[in-house]
Amino acid sequence: MMSISAKFCTHVRVGCRLTWIVIFCLVFAWPPLPVWAGPGDAPGSATRLARNFEQLVDRYLCEVRGGDCSLPSNMSAASFARRIEVQQAILADLEKIDRGRLTLEQDIDWRFLRGILKANIRAEGEVQRWRQDPRQYVFTNGIIFKIQADHRHPDERGRDLVGELRTLRERVQNAEDNLTQYIPNWLIYSNARIDGTVIVMEEHVPTFADRLAPELRDELRREAEQTVIALGRFRSFVNDEWTKRPQGDFRIGADLYNYLHEHRHQIPTADRDLERISRGERGFTRIPDYHEWGWKQYRIAEGHLERKAAMMDPDKTWKEIIRETKSLHPFNEQLVSEGIWLSRKTRDWTIENDLVTIPWDDDDQLMVASDPSMSASQWWGYGPGYLPAGHSSKKMAWPVIPIQPEWANDIAEENLTEKDWSFYYAIGPHEAYPGHHLMRLYQHRNERKLRRWEKSSSDQGWCYYVEWELTPRPEYGFFPADMQDRYELEILRLKLWRMGRVIIDSGLHTGRMTWEEAVDVESERTGFVRRGAEINIDGIAAGGTSTAAPTIAYFQWMLLREDYFSKMRELDAKGTLKDFHDRVYNIGFIPVELVREQLMADLERQYRPEWRR
């Protein structure tokens, strides 16, 4: 028989156990309190992740970006309207979040996402390219990736391709209803894109289909044949019907231009330090002063070209020296192999000069010949070689446009002169290491999911930094010693080109420059052959801010580099260029002002944690 004391002790033990079970259940059944912070706390002051914000990011990536989700992709008018509605709903929920319950990283992402959504909602509502541009409906990057580089079993890729070709046919069918505005300058490029896509269907897809199981092979071939027929009908529509529809206006206008600078690119309106480093007056980051600032920077670069050329040969202009350098270029059959060699050289060069950490030993960047549809929108290439967002592979390709069989000899030679060794060397680190390729590898492994899927104009601005600040430095030894001056001259010309983008982008889209004037700046003054210049201007016209904003981002990066070293001094630490670069790559290529905030906070956390409130 159990004693009274034993019964008491047992009862207490059981009671305590039950009490703890009840407490445990209450804690985990209660709606999760994501952070230890209260209403009214400073934004980004929490120490634990707010789960509701992470869920909202997941919702955006699913419902807007299509990550791990299936979105309507037939480009119907209803799908475009639905996309805006979804973003409006997400923005409304985002703005309800108490930012005092967010960590610093989350609050930075909150502002990044808010800028994306506000820019998208207004731009997609006011500038409907799907009503103006037939090329929107024959975008084939996903098809080419599955044919050339997807790592999955060919049959799995083949099944996806069957679905993609059916979707492509739906798109071009919807295009006949959607394309209500005719843009004359886009007709020639639309025909070229359609013709190139037909070649993909007639040659690339059947060749890939031969690798598949017989039944799937036959199905994919049938889909390709039907797609060729659909593309033929679409081409007839574009030339016979679309050209008769009311003429549209590709310009986005000054108000939207400034709005995108504020929200998409998050460029400040008044920042004395930025004004100082970029030689800009108050208000220079907004139209109309932005256009004039572009001309100022263009003339500055032009002056450097003239002085550099005079030092090299006082009897020749910089354009004469550039043309002389470009007259010796790779043969067409060497374009890909020279690109592979150069891409891999940029990796070795980055390691040798300790510019940024490359934490892998199985990464690679190649060059490949682009598919025929790409020559309609590019003169060089370099476009769809990127991996899909978040992809696990560390191998990428740098597409180059080879000479097309139908090109006349003079056009072919013009094209090759602009793919000479000076251009390859000048642009190589920008495109490969430590530029876009390495940046993309870091992006795909970013701990913050939004930053794995989204980036900003700071990405291209960083590549300008790589191109203008790191690539030409003699002590880094990237250029052949006997070509140092000539390749530096090409670097200056490329800087002139990018400053010209500010003039052309802002000029075209706000009515300050005509199409022909833009082509003249690109060809006669910047030195590109006219056909290449026309294709470049077409790309700028189809956008709006995106080709010009990276130029300001470059100056922001230069300012942040200054401030990084100043901050390290304040922290009684010694900064290094590699440490600065590594920190930027790990934070991600979001708007520079947001990078700045996290970078400075990270430095204080590491060196002076007691400073952080």
Q: What is the 3-state secondary structure (H, E, C) of 3-36?
A: CHHHHHHHHHHHHHHHHHHHHHHHHHHCCCCCCC
| Same domain, residue pair 329 and 441 | yes
Q: Which pLDDT score is estimated for 31?
A: 39
Of 228, 226, 224, 76, residue with least CA distance to 161 = 224
Give domain status of residue 15, yes or no: no
Q: Where a domain ends, among 202, 222, 244? A: 244
Q: Which pLDDT score is estimated for 30?
A: 36
Residue 244 confidence class, pLDDT cut points 50, 70, 90 = very high
Residue 295: domain span: 252-613
In what helix (H) or strand (E) does residue 471 lie, and over which residues does it extend? none
| Same domain, residue pair 67 and 149 | no
pTM of the entire predicted model: 0.92
**Tokens matching residue 225:** 């044949």
Q: Where a domain ends, among 61, 94, 126? A: 126
| Same domain, residue pair 479 and 382 | yes
Q: Which pLDDT score is estimated for 26?
A: 37
Q: Which pLDDT score is estimated for 23?
A: 39
Q: What percent of the chain has pLDDT over 90?
A: 81
Residue 589 burial (10 A CB sphere; 0-12, 13-18, 19+)? buried
| Same domain, residue pair 237 and 258 | no
Residue 347 confidence class, pLDDT cut points 50, 70, 90 = very high
Residue given tokens 């010009």 in the structure block: 548
**Residue 186 in contact with residue 132, Cβ under 8 Å?**
yes
Inform me whether the pLDDT recorded for 38 exceeds 80. no
320, 527, 551 from 489: Cα distances, Å: 11, 12, 19
| Same domain, residue pair 269 and 316 | yes
What is the rounded CA–CA span in Å between residue 114 and residue 95?
8
CA 59 to chain CA mean position, Å: 22
What is the rounded CA–CA span in Å between residue 516 and residue 505?
13
**Residue 106 in contact with residue 49, Cβ under 8 Å?**
yes
Give domain status of residue 314, yes or no: yes
Mean pLDDT for 224-249 is 98
**Residue 385 in contact with residue 398, Cβ under 8 Å?**
yes
Inform me whether the pLDDT recorded for 429 exceeds 90. yes
**Residue 98 in contact with residue 145, Cβ under 8 Å?**
no
Q: Where a domain ends, among 126, 158, 180? A: 126
| Same domain, residue pair 458 and 493 | yes
pLDDT tens, 332-341?
Answer: 999 999 999 9
Classified as helix, coil or strand, 553 is: helix
| Same domain, residue pair 121 and 186 | no
Angle at 357 between CA 366 and CA 445, to 5 degrees: 70
Q: Given 3-state DSSP classes, what are the helix, strand and coil percentages for the chain, each rounded to the nearest 5?
A: 65, 0, 30
Residue 613 confidence class, pLDDT cut points 50, 70, 90 = low
Q: Which pLDDT score is estimated for 374?
A: 78
Q: Which pLDDT score is estimated for 17?
A: 43
Give domain status of residue 494, yes or no: yes
Of 255, 355, 293, residue with least CA distance to 551 = 293
DSSP letters spanning 363-408: -EEEEEEPPGGGGGT-SSB-STTSPPTT----EEEEEE-PPPTTS-
DSSP letters spanning 406-457: TS-HHHHHHHHHTTSHHHHHHHHHHHSTTTHHHHHHHHTT-SSHHHHH---T
Give domain status of residue 534, yes or no: yes
pLDDT tens, 368-396?
Answer: 888 888 776 677 765 545 677 777 889 88
| Same domain, residue pair 196 and 309 | no
Inform me whether the pLDDT recorded for 265 exceeds 80. yes
Characterize 265-274 residue by residue with b for buried, 16 or more Cβ atoms within 10 angstroms of its Cβ, and e for exposed: bbbeeebeeb
Mean pLDDT for 70-95 is 93
| Same domain, residue pair 279 and 209 | no
| Same domain, residue pair 120 and 138 | no
What is the rounded CA–CA span in Å between residue 462 and residue 299?
22
Q: Which residues contact 379 (CB under 8 A, 6 or more apart)?
A: 401, 415, 418, 531, 532, 535, 536
What is the rounded CA–CA span in Å between residue 289 and residue 282?
9
Residue 40 confidence class, pLDDT cut points 50, 70, 90 = low
Give domain status of residue 274, yes or no: yes
Q: Which pLDDT score is estimated for 18?
A: 41
Q: What is the mean pLDDT of the chain?
A: 91
Inform me whether the pLDDT recorded for 172 exceeds 50. yes
* DSSP secondary structure code for residue 241 in this structure: T
The number of distinct structural domains making up the chain is 3
| Same domain, residue pair 340 and 229 | no
Q: Which pLDDT score is estimated for 373?
A: 81
Q: Which pLDDT score is estimated for 8?
A: 35
Mean pLDDT for 211-228 is 98
Mean pLDDT for 512-526 is 97
Give domain status of residue 19, yes or no: no
Of 248, 253, 268, residue with least CA distance to 123 = 253
Q: What percent of the chain has pLDDT over 70?
A: 92
| Same domain, residue pair 85 and 142 | no
Mean pLDDT for 205-212 is 98
**Residue 118 in contact with residue 94, Cβ under 8 Å?**
no
Maximum distance among all Cα pairs of the chain, rounded to whole angstroms: 117
What is the rounded CA–CA span in Å between residue 520 and residue 355?
38
Q: Which pLDDT score is estimated for 140?
A: 85
